[in-house]
Amino acid sequence: MQYENIVVSIEDGVVTVTVNRPDKMNALNDATIAELTHAFTNLPDGARAAILTGAGEKAFVAGADLGMLAKLETAAEGEANSRQFHETLDLIEDMKKPVVCAMNGFALGGGNELAMACHARIATKGLRMLAGQPEINVGIIPGAGGTQRLSRLIGLEGAARMMRTAAPMSSADALAAGLISEEVDGDLVPRAIELVNAYASGALEIPRIPRDPMGEIPESLPEVDLGHHSTVIDRILCSTILNGARLSLREGLALESRAFGECVETKDMHIGMQNFIENGPRAKAEFVNE
């Protein structure tokens, strides 16, 4: 298959998959997701491990292509879009061969969700902004696993605060929280190769996100300053985080898809999308909480 949005190479049994849309900050659209699915389903003969990274030096993956999301009109369309992302990310997560994400720049929204589906994550050292889930800025919740995987990686309250406020993490904060395993000076790929070879040989155990229910879950989350954010989207988000944590990972992801569809039928989702497209990411949407 000839890829347009990713580049696949192999050397000494290690496959490198690079998201290659630098003009779009490597944002994920339908075509890119389909190509990632094909690439990880059809790894070259002799492959024993894989690395996932992004083209350029500024972004690993800036998130989902909002032009794609803005076209969603019904809950069914929103749920189907979320499930499409889940199928690809679940495929990566379920790989028996180890997959390490080399986060060469910031990973926002779907980019962070894609990274979390990999078995381990390393990042360029000293990034002031590495990871974030800023979906609430545009009137949606994370729809590619963020409401479920982030809690299981860094803890429920920290994950909820990150998603509810859209506050990003630096690479140092991500290391301290457990989102990444290492900060790396210079080129990430040689260190990623060392890690996947250690996982593939059994010298290191492949880390996996726990898939069971998370255990004792509070009835509600601590209050945060929502600022200009939509209270109706925050309500959907909190419910999805809490109820998903009480379920297995796969059941929680299905819940997330339904909740993402619910967002599509709110006024605030369309206000947020239109504001972003017309005014850019720095302009605050005037949500109506409906």
Q: Point out the residues that are catalytic.
A: 113, 135
**Concatenated DSSP letters for 3-38?**
-SSEEEEEETTEEEEEE--GGGTT-B-HHHHHHHHH
Contact between 14 and 53 under an 8 Å Cβ cutoff? The reply is no
Amino acid at 47: A
Residue 135 buriedness (CB in 10 A; 0-12 / 13-18 / 19+): buried
Degrees to nearest 5, angle at CA 238 with 116 and 249: 40
Contact between 75 and 262 under an 8 Å Cβ cutoff? The reply is yes
Q: How far apart are the first and last CA of the chain?
A: 44
Residue 237 buriedness (CB in 10 A; 0-12 / 13-18 / 19+): buried
